[in-house]
Amino acid sequence: MADRIYHPNAELAKSAHCKSFDEYKKMHEESIKNPEIFWGEIAKQFYWETPSSNDKFFSYNFDITKGDIFVKWMEGASTNISFNLLDKNVKCGNGDKIAFYWEGNDPEDYSRLTYRKLLEETCRFANVLKSKGIQKGDRVAIYMPMILELPVAMLACTRIGAVHSVVFAGYSSDSLAERMLDSKAKILITADGVWRGEKQLNLKKICDDAMDKTKLHNHEIDTCIVVSHLRRLANPQGKSTTDKNQNGINGTSNGKNCELNISWNDERDYWWHEEMEDADTSCYPVWVNAEDPLFILYTSGSTGKPKGVLHTTAGYLIYAATTFKYVFDYKQNDVYWCTADIGWITGHTYVVYGPLANSGTSVLFEGTPFYPDNDRYWSVIDKYKVSQFYTAPTAIRSLMKFGDEFVKKHDLSSLKVLGSVGEPINPEAWLWFYNLVGHGKCSIADTFWQTETGGHVITPLPGATPMKPGSATFPFFGVLPELLDEDGKLIEGEGEGYLVFRQPWPGMMRSLYNNHERFQTTYFDRFHGYYCTGDGARRDADGYLWVTGRIDDMLNVSGHLMSTAEVESVLAEHPFCSEAAVVSKPHPVKGQCLYCFVTPNDGNVFDKKMQDELKKLVRERIGPFAQPDIIQHAPGLPKTRSGKIMRRVLRKIALGDKNVGDTSTLADETIVDLLFQLRPQQA
Ligand code: WT7
């Protein structure tokens, strides 16, 4: 079934940006052979204050044995991203076009923002940042819910050449503090709080705690700007000094009661709307170099310490714009919706930069798929007549559980393209998405990429690529994937191996913030001459690529990448715990989940209370999405004589699979049977 080929809808293909598989192949070949010409043509659609010289358009070194790794696109050119995304649109007659429809957690809360208004708000906030002393190159930490002020804050940074570092507002205060310390952030932008479903979260409190923590490490954040989001929801139109209209962002609100105790430090904290009140609505853009940093975004690393992935200006812009245009086949009257939070790379590239670079209209959604009922996604698609819908396999699987009726209640006929991202999509979920949500007439774009790649790298194109459920299919323009075996030998034709890339595409990362060494060892040391993704993949007889998942100690829980090491180190902090080993286990909805083996210190009893406490600790330290599913008692761990934990054995125990393979190198083989006996019932 998974090998059946699904052809693009002929009607869609007729008017698509890329109309056939042959056209795709031709364009791809050109992009690989003549990258300067291919991307040079695309770069002409944007404004360059200083043009790039041809001889410096593209240079790189991917081979660490020949010197430091570097990637440069359009070196010497200068531009400003907010100018390209906003001013250019307003000048070209798109000023009144909607950039974002905002849909709140509560269906009665909604508003919208035109390109003109977005430009004004961006300029005003850029002026606020300037008034707080922020200059080109300074890092700005952002910890915000999915509200319109979030893209405004990001774009305001780009306006003045400041580097944003958005931290997903589901991370704990520890995680936020760690990221602000690493990036040496000068300022923090947040909101009072947010509703998620029935739950109200106090974001300001988390920020207060995080700022206390950075202070302990001698890094003081002296300015914190706070959007009064919950209070304006509680005080609909005009009744409050913190009303939306003061922000110039018109909307309705259900006036839900909201009591939030937030503490305030007069020396450090400022209300967003008060700062914006007197700020000027124009702000001359700071022209930055093509290779100047645009943003830092942290992703998990297999050692446990997060990596500050650094993206730069020109390459990221042209890559975000081009992938968005072709992969979603975006047309001027379309309404596009990506459900990802802006705190992840998907939200950076495909909620903010890609859509705006194409004069797009998108939905910015604050809520969850399950509130007020399990049909929220389908009702939003119906409400805004969404044409491209981009979500994650874990969301699809969790919605499948509720049955088809929730979907069938709504008119989804506006849909043309359905996107999937975050992890491999299982064929069952693919077919449900295709047949039920897409009525068998939409193309599915199963987009493989990473925080590091900046944009899609392996993906079908809706009008061109024949699809196979579960396969991310073929490389995007500029991308040259290869499969390598353990020894770094090329696997030609059918086979399975390490997924690597042979040459850079414009949107790839340039470094890890302040740690170029780690950048080189993580991505370029395993196989010389290639960027190593850390994923495995299979190529079938038709040349289709099937990403099989991580091959390092990383796992993907509901699309959130994390490392087993970071969870282990949190568990090991607990006084109860002498040692911990964490593995991933397949999970029907989340894709993978955390299975933890814990060895108690002498004299401690392993009971339910302890399990709950350890789960809570991981939630608090990393974030709610990292909560382990299983904590198992492990009086000992399967270790080799040299003391290395044999994780492959633990993965088998987690699965309840007795075929553990060779255990002869273990110091104590009896531990394996004991761990099988202690395996909890619910596992
Ligand atoms: C890892 C990157 C890129 C945005 C979301 C996650 C996995 C992502 C797919 C896909 C199979 C996928 C990989 C990758 N992944 N998309 N379509 N098929 N695997 O970004 O947090 O940097 O995670 O997500 O394992 O390495 P990220």
As a whole number, the mean pLDDT across the chain is 93
Residue 663: the pLDDT is: 85
The mean per-residue pLDDT over the stretch 414-418 comes to: 98
Do 16 and 462 meet the contact criterion of CB atoms below 8 Å apart? yes
Compute the distance from residue 285 Cα to the ligand 1 centre, in Å: 34
pLDDT at 560: 87
Which pLDDT band holds residue 250 (cuts at 50, 70, 90)? very low
Window from 16-20, 246-250, 385-389, 417-421 with minimum mean pLDDT: 246-250
Mean pLDDT, residues 343-354 taken together: 97
Query: CA 170, CA 262: separation in Å to the nearest integer?
Result: 18
The amino acid present at 103, given as its one-letter code, is: E
Strands 630-633 and 194-196 come out as unpaired
| Average pLDDT rounded to a whole number, residues 15-19 | 98
The answer to whether residue 577 sits within a structural domain is yes
Going by alpha carbons, the residue nearest to atom 5 of ligand 1 is: 422
Q: Is the pLDDT of residue 246 over 60?
A: no
pLDDT at 238 exceeding the cut of 70:
no
- Does the beta carbon of 472 sit less than 6 angstroms from any atom of ligand 1? yes
Q: Is the pLDDT of residue 12 over 50?
A: yes
Residue 253 near ligand 1, beta carbon < 6 Å: no
Q: Is 422 in the pocket of ligand 1 (CB under 6 A)?
A: yes
- Report which ligand 1 atom has the smallest distance to the Cα of 560: 21
Mean pLDDT in residue range 420-445: 95
Q: How confident is the model at residue 300 (pLDDT cuts 50, 70, 90)?
A: confident
Neighbours of 489 (CB within 10 A): 11
pLDDT at 103 over 90: yes
pLDDT of residue 236: 60
Give the whole-number percent of the chain exceeding pLDDT 70.
96
> Is 580 inside a domain boundary?
yes
CA 160 – ligand 1 centroid, Å: 31
For residue 562, give the CATH number of its domain.
3.30.300.30
Residue 114, pLDDT > 70, answer yes
Q: For residue 239, what pLDDT band results from cuts at 50, 70 and 90?
A: very low
User: 632 in a domain, yes or no?
Assistant: yes
Q: Is residue 552 in a domain?
A: no
- Work out the average pLDDT over 335-350: 97
pLDDT of residue 646: 86
- Closest Cα partner for 464 from 26, 33, 4? 26
pLDDT at 435: 97
Assigned domain for 442 exists: no
441: pLDDT strictly greater than 90: yes
* pTM for the structure as a whole: 0.90
Residue 464 confidence (pLDDT): 98
Q: Please name the residues in contact with 83: beta carbons below 8 A apart, sequence gap of 6 or more.
A: 47, 159, 285
**pLDDT of 293 above 70:** yes
CA-CA distance, 678 to 596, in Å (whole number)? 13
Is residue 533 lining ligand 1, measured as CB closer than 6 Å? yes
Judged against a pLDDT cut of 60, whether residue 118 lies above it is answered with yes
* Cβ count within 10 A of residue 219: 16
pLDDT of residue 257: 53
Report the percent of the chain where pLDDT is more than 90.
83
Q: Which two tokens stand for residue 73?
A: 């696109």
Q: Is the CB of 611 under 6 A from ligand 1?
A: no
Q: Which pLDDT belongs to residue 253?
A: 65
Q: Strand 361-365 vs strand 269-271: parallel, antiparallel, or unpaired?
A: unpaired
Q: Looking at the CA of residue 547, tell me the nearest atom of ligand 1.
A: 11
Q: Which position has the higher pLDDT, 247 or 128?
A: 128
Res 151: pLDDT: 98
What torsion do the CA atoms of 533, 451, 38, 547 make, to the nearest 10 degrees?
A: 40
Q: At 655, is the secondary structure helix, strand, or coil?
A: helix
Statement: residue 2 has pLDDT above 70: no
Pocket test of ligand 1: the residue of 349, 423, 433, 592 to mutate, having most ligand atoms within 8 Å of its CB, is 423
C-alpha 321 to ligand 1 mean position (Å):
20
Region 651-678 average pLDDT: 91
- Residue 317 has a pLDDT of 98
Domain membership of residue 668 as a residue range: 558-678
Token code pair at residue 46: 């944007």
340 CB less than 6 Å from ligand 1?
Answer: no
pLDDT digits (tens, 9 = 90+) for 372-391: 999 999 999 999 999 999 99
Is the per-residue pLDDT at 652 higher than 50? yes
What is the distance in A from the centroid of ligand 1 to the CA of 674? 36
Look up residue 601 and give its DSSP letter: P
pLDDT higher than 90, residue 572: no
**Which of 154, 174, 177 minimizes the C-alpha distance to 165?**
154
Taking only the tens place, the pLDDT of each residue in 446-471 is 999 999 999 999 999 999 999 999 99
DSSP helix/strand/coil, 403? coil
What would the pLDDT profile of 182-213 be if each residue is shown by its tens digit? Answer: 999 999 999 999 999 999 999 999 999 999 99
User: For 580-603, how does the pLDDT look when each residue is reduced to its tens digit (9 = 90+)?
Assistant: 999 999 999 999 999 999 999 888
Give the 3-state secondary structure percentages of the chain, helix then strand then coil, rounded to 5. Answer: 35, 25, 40
Q: Whose CA is nearest to atom 19 of ligand 1?
A: 423
Number of structural domains (the chain) is: 1
At residue 468's C-alpha, the angle toward residues 463 and 469, to 5°, is: 110
Q: Which residues of 331-365 are buried (b: 16+ CB within 10 A; e: fewer)?
A: beebbbbbbbbbbbbbbbbbbbbbbbbbbbbbbbb
Does 388 fall in a domain?
no
Summarised one tens digit per residue, pLDDT across range 530-565 is: 999 999 999 999 999 999 888 887 888 998 888 888
End-to-end CA, the chain: 30
pLDDT, greater one: 312 or 251: 312
Separation in Å, CA 593 to CA 420, 446, 647, 652, 679:
20, 22, 15, 14, 16
Is the separation of the CB atoms in 39 and 478 below 8 Å?
Answer: yes
Ligand 1 touching residue 451 (CB < 6 A):
yes
